[in-house]
Amino acid sequence: MKRCALWTAVVFLAVLLGPASGPARAAEKIVVGMPVSPPNVIHLPVLYALDKGIYKKNGIEVEVKYFRGGVAAQRAVVSAQSGLDAGWIPGSLALIGIAGGSGQKLFHSFGHLNEAQAAAAPDIDTPAKLKGRTVGIEGRGGYSHLGILRVLEMAGLKDSDVNYIVTAPPARVPYLLEGKADAVVIHVEQVLMAQLKNKNIKVIANLWKADPLQLYAAMTASEEKLKARKNAFAAFAASLMESTRAIYKDKAGLRATALKHSFPAFKKNPEIFDQTYDVLVKERLWTVNNGLPRKVIDATNQLNVDMKKYKGAPPAFEKALALDVMEAALKKAGEVTPNTEK
C-alpha cells in the first residue's frame, strides 16, 4: 500500500513538472548571401533583424555572407558548395535564372522598387544630355544597364546613343568623380557621398519612379530547400516583414545598425545616413508585406523578353514564386492593410 502511494506521488509529481528537460533544441540556421559589402541602407533590414533579435524571437538563426555583386550572389546561392540557403538577388537576374533551370524560387522582397538614382556629371542635368556621353555599368543586361536604359527612354534615347565603360560597383562613384564616366546608376547614399566631394553632381532620375514596375531584388532559395524547410523560410520572411515595419518608426535603431555594419563614412558624416533614411521612408521603398506584386513580376518578365534574355517562355508567376512559403510568412507576421503588394 505504501509502495502504491509512493508510486502515485511520483507520477503526480512528474505530471506536475512536465517532461524531463533535455538539451535546448538548436534554432534552424539560414545562411543568406548579400550582393555588396558594406551593405547599402536599403539592405539593412536583414541586419537590423539580427541586431534586434527578431530572428531569434522567431526561432531561427541567420548568418550573412557578402559577395561582389548580384551575379556573384546568384551563382553562390545556386551552387551546392557555397553553403548558402538564400540570396538577395536582382529581380531580372533571378527570373532569368529560374527560366534557365536554376531550381530557385522567389519567396520574399523587402524592397521591390528600384532604389537607385542616375547620377551625372555637373554639365548633365537632364536625361537628354546623356546622348554621346559615357555611362558606367557592370555589363550589358546587368542591374545598372537596365536602369540606365529606362532613363534613356525618358528622353527618347536608345542604347546606341551612349557609350559604355565597365565599372564594378565599388568603382562607380570614383569613376564619376574622376570623369571616367559621365553617369552611373548608384544608391541614394552613394549619390550623397559623391556630392560631398563635388556638390555639382546631378541626380537626373530616380529609378523607382522611372520604372516602378521593375523588380529591384528578391530573396531566392532552391525549391528543394523551400519544401524541406518551409517553416524556417517562412520565419525568415516574417522576420524581414517585422524588421521593415519597425524600421519605419526607428530611425535611431537603424542608424545604430548602419554604423555597426555599413559604410565607414557614416561615422564621419552621419547626416548622410539621416538624409538617405529620410528619402527611403518618404518614398516607401521598403515593403511591409511579401513585397512581390504580380504586376511587378509580369513587368520584369516582359523586360527580360524585350531584352531577349529567355530562350523559351518566361517563368509564370505561380512557378517563379514559393507562394506557400509566402502565405505562411504573411500569416505569421500578420498582414498590413491595405496590402498594395499583391
* Tens of each residue's pLDDT in the chain, 342 residues: 444 444 444 444 444 444 444 445 678 999 999 998 889 999 999 999 999 999 999 999 999 999 988 889 999 999 988 999 999 999 999 999 999 999 999 999 999 999 999 999 999 999 999 999 999 998 888 888 989 999 999 999 999 999 999 998 889 999 999 999 999 999 999 999 999 999 999 999 999 999 999 999 999 999 999 999 999 999 999 999 999 999 999 999 999 999 999 878 888 899 999 999 999 999 999 999 999 999 999 999 999 999 899 999 999 999 999 999 999 999 999 999 999 999
- Cβ-in-10-Å burial (0-12, 13-18, 19+) of 141 comes to middle
**CA end-to-end distance (rounded Å), the chain:** 68
* Rounded-to-10 torsion of CA 71, 73, 74, 78: 140
CA distance 93 to 74: 8
Longest dimension (CA), the chain: 102
E strand map for the chain = 28-34, 60-66, 86-90, 104-108, 117-120, 134-137, 163-166, 183-186, 202-206, 217-222
CA distance 217 to 310: 18
Other Cβ atoms less than 10 A from the Cβ of 12: the count is 10
Cross-strand pairs, 163: 134
* Model confidence, pTM: 0.90
- Cβ-in-10-Å burial (0-12, 13-18, 19+) of 64 comes to middle
Rounded to whole angstroms, what are the CA distances from 253 to 49, 243, 288, 342? 11, 11, 17, 29
Report all structural domains of the chain as residue ranges with CATH numbers, in order of start.
28-113+214-333 (3.40.190.10), 117-210 (3.40.190.10)
